[in-house]
Amino acid sequence: MFVDLVQPTGHSGGVHRALHALTVAAYLTLVAGVVVAEPPITMPHHPVAAVVLGAVYVGSATVGFGRVRRRSGRALHIAFVAAQLLLGYAVFVASGASVGAILLLLVLVSQSALLLPLPGALVVVGLVPFAHLGMEWRAGLREGLGMLAAAAFAAVLTRLIVREQQARQELTRAHEQLREYALQVERLAVAQERNRVARDIHDGLGHSLTVVQMQVKAARAVLGTDPDRADAVLAKAQAQAEEALAEVRRSVGAMREPRPRAPLAEALRELAEQASAAGVPTSLDVAGQARPLLTAAQESLYRAAQEGLTNVRKHARATRAELVLDYTRPAAVRLEVRDDGAGVAAEPVGLPGYGLLGVRERAAHAGGRMSLESAPGCGATLSVEVPG
């Protein structure tokens, strides 16, 4: 019954309720033994005193114990246990060493295991058998040793049950923490994916639309004087728009499943041709022997080239540009986007604008770094270096 009543409903709450139930059951056993009034075997008894003292003991073991355990203070706990021990002795003697009185003393042992540190509980275990001192010495020794064994068992059982409850509570808290960590990881993953999609839109679709815009503006400028040239430029704009649409489709497909990519040098050569068609002659120089790269590294270099050429066309007022893909370093691959335009005074603090911010984020994600070198009137060089 004691074990069945123990449930992890708070710090030792189930143990306390089980002890209360055992206390009441022990008192009823005591009263039944006194009412039957069987002649005592080893000790005289006083039924009325036993019932009255037993009732006092039950009240202090339930209501009193509940109040004491809610208060901190070692002295208060020791005083409670000492008072209950003396009262338990009195009940034991008045009842003539009845079974009910023995059970009440065992309740005290369990309560001491809850209130006192282990050495204090062991002292109570050692003192409980002294209730048999009034018996004939052989019977007292026999009954005392039995009481000692029962008290030790009750103390150990109580400690084990409380420890098991605490372990369950700690496990519950650990599960809650793991759930919270999982939610945090999920939120971070969502934020990273949101940033990745934003970079893809800016670097891919944004680049293509910039090229189309410049080509359309160039076609409108010569539409009245050179229709054939305007038509050729518009044809390139249409092709670029189709490529942008294909890029959107590829991006959507990438969210569903991985897709094979063209070799990096080939993809960069297409970018150079597009930039040249948009009005800024662009060359590609590959140094060293090409080697496979991780997807994140290759994506970082390709998007850096896209963003760099887009900035050259939009802001640099350059007459030419150059892409340099350098495989000569032993453990890294470097991409540079150079132009002969107006340049900037210095690298902008914090790199305002989503394009360069996306380049830096991609490089960091691939384990690399980005730098921007420029001076007024001397052009600019955007560099990205990644492991590879």
Check residue 37 and give its pLDDT.
53
Phi, psi of 61 (to 5 degrees): -75, -15
Cβ atoms < 10 Å from Cβ of 105: 25
pTM of the model: 0.44
Q: What is the pLDDT of residues 210-264, one digit of tens each?
A: 777 777 887 788 777 888 787 787 877 777 777 777 676 666 655 554 444 678 9
Distances (CA, A) of 53 to 29, 41, 96, 208: 14, 21, 13, 95
Least confident of 17-21, 42-46, 313-317: 42-46
CA–CA dist 309, 299 (Å, integer): 15
Phi, psi of 261 (to 5 degrees): -110, 150
Check residue 326 and give its pLDDT.
94
Q: What is the pLDDT of residues 126-176, one digit of tens each?
A: 888 888 787 777 877 888 788 888 888 888 888 888 788 888 888 888 878
Nearest-10 Cα torsion for 332, 338, 342, 346: 0
Helix H or strand E segment including 323 = strand 321-326
CA–CA dist 220, 201 (Å, integer): 27
Residues paired with 332 in a beta bridge: 387
Q: What is the pLDDT of residues 320-355, one digit of tens each?
A: 999 999 999 888 999 999 998 887 654 443 344 567
* Rounded (5°) CA angle 313-314-318: 45
CA–CA dist 98, 34 (Å, integer): 8
Nearest to 81 by CA among 108, 54, 103: 108
The residues near 30 (Cβ < 8 Å, ≥ 6 apart) are 50, 51, 54, 91, 95, 98, 99, 100, 101, 103, 104
CA–CA dist 58, 27 (Å, integer): 7
Residue range 278-297: average pLDDT?
88
